[in-house]
Structure 1
C-alpha cells in the first residue's frame, strides 16, 4: 500500500510504500514518528470499515436486473472510491490520533496511491459470507448466498409514501454494502488485512508509570471518542459527549492514541498474556529469535507484571527490571499474544535500550516477522540493525557454499529478505524525505557511514594532537 503525504510537521511531501519491511531513518526531531503515526491513523481508518457505514454517497451501482457483481472491476473501483472518501474524513481527524490541536494538522493531507490489492482482498473475502440486509422502513434490501460473487438488490412494497423515504436507493445500497463489509466479515470470523498495531518509543514509560495513570479513564476516553466519530454530523450529540469527556476525563489522558493503546495493553496484560498469537502458533521461529534477546518470559503474579529469567535465577516486578527488558515487553506481548495474520506492525526504535549485539538480533526478529505474513514498519537510528538487515538481503543472492554459510551463522530461510520486500526512506533535519537505494547487497547506509567516518576522523585528529608518535611508521 502506497501513501502520499503532504505538510506533516517538517515534511512537505513524501511517498511511502508499506512493504513487507519498511524502514524510516533520520535524525531526532525530523518527524519520523509523525510519519509512522499518520500511517497508523489512516491504516486504522481503512481497517475499521465501520467508518464507511452511513456514508450516503452514490458509489455503488447495479445493473438493470438489480444485481451487483462484486468480482467485477467496476465494484472494486467503487470500493476504492469509498476508501478514498474515508481517507478524506480521516484527514480531518488526524489531530485526534496525536491528541493535539486541529490547527496543527489543518494543512496535512494523507492519501492512498494504490487501493487495488486491498479491494481485491476484500472482494475475495466477501465471496465467503452470506448477506441478507435491509434498512428499517426502506424498500431496498440486498441478499447474497455464500460462495457467490452476485449480490441481489431487492425491492419490497412499502406502506409509507415516497416522500417519507428520503434515502435514495443508491444511498441505501451503499449503506447496506458498507454494513455487510464491516459487520458480516467480523461475525464470520474472517480477518481483514492491514490491522495496524503500533509499539511506541514511550513503551518503557508505559510500564513504569502505568499504575499512576488511570486506565479506566483511558477506556472511557476511547469509548467517548468512538461515539464522537459515529455521530460526527450531529452537533447536539457531540456537544453532550464533549461535556461528558470534560467531566469524566479532564486532562488525565492527554496522550497520543498509540501511546494510550500501549498503556491499555499493559493494563490488560493479565488477560492478554493468556492468548496465543498467530506468530506463536504458525511461526514459532519468531519467538525463538526474540527469546535470544529477552532470555526469559513475562507473566502476571497477583496482579503484578513480572519478568522471570530462563535460568530461574530471578523473578522481578517489571518496574525494577532493566530498561532493555522494559523496552522488550510490548514487542514480546505482540509476538506471542496479539499478532494476527495480515497485520501491519509499526515499531518506533526497535533498538531502544538494546546493546549493539541485541540490536543485531532484533534485526533478525524483524526479518522473521516480515517473512511471516505481517508487514513491519520501523523508525530507527541503528546502523547495527540496518547492517544486519543488509546481511539478510545479501543472503538472497545465489552463490557457492551458501548453505554452509547459513549454517555457520545460524541463519534460517526465514532470515533472508529479497530486495523487492524492502522499502527504505531517510528523513533529513529539514524534513526532506528521500527513498534510499536498495541493491542486492542491501540498503545504502551511507548516512550512517558518514557519521561514523566523521567520528573516527575526529578521534584520530585528537589522538595525533596528543601523541603524534602513535602514527609514525614502524
Structure 2
C-alpha cells in the first residue's frame, strides 16, 4: 500500500510503501512517530468513527450512491442486499482518501498537541498493489449480529445484518418475533446510521482488522493498570490522591493502550476459545506469547484473580510473583505484547510499536527483532519506529537467511533459533526519516543503507587515536 504524505509536522514530502513489516528509522524530531500515528488514526477506528459522523452530517467531500440507493430500497421494501466488492471496486480508494482528507480536523487531538497547524497536511493512498488482498479480506468478514427495536412495546422486531464468510454481499432485513404482529418500520435515520456504520467498518477492517498502538509511554501505563486502581472512563479527567482534578493531556495512542488493558481484565478466556474456532491462527499467537515469555522475558506474565481485584503479575520463577510496579523495565516494556497475543490478537491486525528496543539489553534487541519477524510470518502486520542499530542490522540477517534453501542449517546462528524468524525481503520496507522526507533505504540486494545515522559508534570510537 503506497502512501504520499506532505506537510505533516517536519515531513514536507514523503512516499512510503507499507509492507507486512515496515521500519521507520530516524533521529529525534524527524517525524517518524507522527507519521505512524497519523496513519493509525486514518486507517483505524478513530478516523472511521469521525468520518461516519461527518458523512451523516453531509460534511464529507464524497457521497456514495450505492449507499443512498440501498437506504431508499430498504425503507420501501424492508430488506436490501449490498455487494461490498462492487462498492470497493468503485469507491475503495475514494473512501480512504476521503477519510484522510478530514484527518486535519482530528489529528491535533489524536497527537495531543494544540500548537501545530495541520490544515495543509495531505495523506494520499494508492491501493493498486493492495486491492486484491483488501477484496479478499472483505469477503472473509463475518457479520451476523441482530438489532432489536419495537413500537410502543406492542411488538418486537429484529433488524438482521448478515454477512457470511467468503460471500461478497451483506444483507439487511426485518422480521417480527411477536406472533400475530405486523412488521414495524425502522426510522430512516436509525437505519441510515446502522447501514453506513456497518459498511464503513467492513471496508476499514479490510485494510487492517484492528490497529494496536504500543507507544513509548507503555512502561508507565502498565503498572498503573495492573494495580487495584483502574480508570473507568479513560476519556475523563481524574483526581489525584489529594482530590485535585488533573486534566488528561495524554495522546490518543496512550489512551488506546489503557482501554485495551481494561478490556483484557473484563474478557473471559471462554471468549478467546470461541474466537479460536473462527480463527485457528489465534492458537499460534498464544504460542508466540509463551515464546516471548520463555525466551526473552524469562518469566510469565499473568492476570492474577486470587484477590477481589484482578492484577497483572510477573512470575520469574515458580515461587516468586512480582507486581508490575517492582518488575524490571524490560518486563513493563514487553508485558503488554504478551497480553495482547494471549488475549486479543486476531489475523491481519497492525501493531505499531514505538521504539521496541526501549529498555532492552542489546541481546534482547536482537531477540525482539527475530520475534517481530515471527509475528509477521504468523499473519500479523508490524510497523516500528527505531533508533537501534542492532534491530536494523539484524533485520538484514533475517532477510538474507530467508533466501537460503536449507534454512534449518542456519537457525543455530540466530538468538531464538527459529526459522520462522527468517522473513522474505519483499515483505519488508525500511525508511530513513531526515531532511523533511522519508527515504527508502532497503536496497535490492538486501542491504540497509542508513548512512551517517548508523555510523555514530564508528565516530565516537575514533575521537581518540
Alignment TM class, shorter chain as reference: 0.7 to 0.9
* Cα distance, 1:316 vs structure 2: 1.4
Q: Which residue of 2 aligns with 1:15?
A: 15
Q: Is the 8 A contact 2:137 2:206 kept in 1?
A: no
Q: What SS does the corresponding residue of 2:436 show, helix, strand or coil?
A: coil
Q: What SS does the corresponding residue of 2:199 show, helix, strand or coil?
A: helix
Q: Which residue of 1 aligns with 2:96?
A: 83
* Cα distance, 1:212 vs structure 2: 11
Q: How many residues align?
A: 407
Q: Which residue of 1 aligns with 2:313?
A: 306
Alignment deviations for residues 213-246 of structure 1 (CA, whole Å, 9 cap, x no partner): 972342447xxxxxxxxxxxxxxxxxxxxxxxxx
Q: Is the 8 A contact 1:393 1:440 kept in 2?
A: no
Q: Which residue of 1 aligns with 2:253?
A: 258
Alignment root-mean-square deviation, CA? 4.2
Q: Is the 8 A contact 2:110 2:252 kept in 1?
A: yes
- Structure 1: gaps of 5 or more residues: 155-166, 222-248, 465-474
Which of 297, 316, 324 lines up with 2:300 in the alignment? 297
**Mapping for residues 236-247 of structure 1, pairs under 5 Å:** none
The CA distance in 2 between the partners of 1:128 and 1:142, in whole Å, is: 10
The CA distance in 1 between the partners of 2:378 and 2:352, in whole Å, is: 15
* Cα distance, 1:415 vs structure 2: 1.1
Q: Is the 8 A contact 1:383 1:445 kept in 2?
A: no
Q: Is the 8 A contact 2:442 2:448 kept in 1?
A: yes
The CA distance in 2 between the partners of 1:321 and 1:152, in whole Å, is: 51
Single out whichever of 26-35 and 100-109 deviates more from structure 2. 100-109
**Mapping for residues 63-142 of structure 1, pairs under 5 Å:** 70=83, 76-101=89-114, 104-114=117-127, 116-117=131-132, 119-121=134-136, 123-125=138-140
The CA distance in 1 between the partners of 2:303 and 2:163, in whole Å, is: 46
The CA distance in 2 between the partners of 1:216 and 1:353, in whole Å, is: 29
Q: Classify 1:297/1:447 alpha carbon distance in 2 versus 1 (closer, same or farther; 3 Å).
A: farther
TM-score (ref. length: structure 1): 0.72
Q: Is the 8 A contact 1:419 1:440 kept in 2?
A: no
The CA distance in 1 between the partners of 2:162 and 2:218, in whole Å, is: 45
The CA distance in 2 between the partners of 1:412 and 1:92, in whole Å, is: 45
**Mapping for residues 375-390 of structure 1, pairs under 5 Å:** 375-390=381-396
Q: Classify 1:420/1:205 alpha carbon distance in 2 versus 1 (closer, same or farther; 3 Å).
A: same
The CA distance in 1 between the partners of 2:445 and 2:250, in whole Å, is: 41
Q: Is the 8 A contact 2:138 2:202 kept in 1?
A: no
**Mapping for residues 34-53 of structure 1, pairs under 5 Å:** 34-45=34-45, 48=48, 51-52=51-52
TM-score (ref. length: structure 2): 0.73
Q: Classify 1:97/1:390 alpha carbon distance in 2 versus 1 (closer, same or farther; 3 Å).
A: same
Q: Classify 1:440/1:338 alpha carbon distance in 2 versus 1 (closer, same or farther; 3 Å).
A: farther
> Counting helix residues as a fraction of each chain, which structure ranks higher?
1
Q: Is the 8 A contact 1:3 1:112 kept in 2?
A: yes
Q: Which residue of 2 aligns with 1:437?
A: 442
The CA distance in 1 between the partners of 2:462 and 2:7, in whole Å, is: 37
Alignment deviations for residues 353-396 of structure 1 (CA, whole Å, 9 cap, x no partner): 00000001001110001111111000011111122221110012
The CA distance in 1 between the partners of 2:49 and 2:455, in whole Å, is: 45
Which of 404, 411, 418 lines up with 1:412 in the alignment? 418
The CA distance in 1 between the partners of 2:90 and 2:206, in whole Å, is: 22
Q: What SS does the corresponding residue of 1:434 show, helix, strand or coil?
A: strand
- Structure 2: gaps of 5 or more residues: 74-79, 152-158, 174-187, 238-243
The CA distance in 1 between the partners of 2:437 and 2:290, in whole Å, is: 38
Alignment deviations for residues 151-188 of structure 1 (CA, whole Å, 9 cap, x no partner): 8999xxxxxxxxxxxx9xxx9998775344257899xx
Task: Indicate the structure (1 or 2) with the bigger Cα radius of gyration.
Answer: 1
Q: Does residue 1:343 correspond to 2:331, yes or no? A: no
**Mapping for residues 269-418 of structure 1, pairs under 5 Å:** 269-271=264-266, 274=269, 276=272, 281-291=283-293, 292-301=295-304, 302=307, 303=309, 304-309=311-316, 311-312=317-318, 314-398=320-404, 402-407=407-412, 409=414, 411-418=417-424
Single out whichever of 201-210 and 53-62 deviates more from structure 2. 53-62
Q: Classify 1:185/1:371 alpha carbon distance in 2 versus 1 (closer, same or farther; 3 Å).
A: same
Which of 437, 455, 461 lines up with 1:456 in the alignment? 461
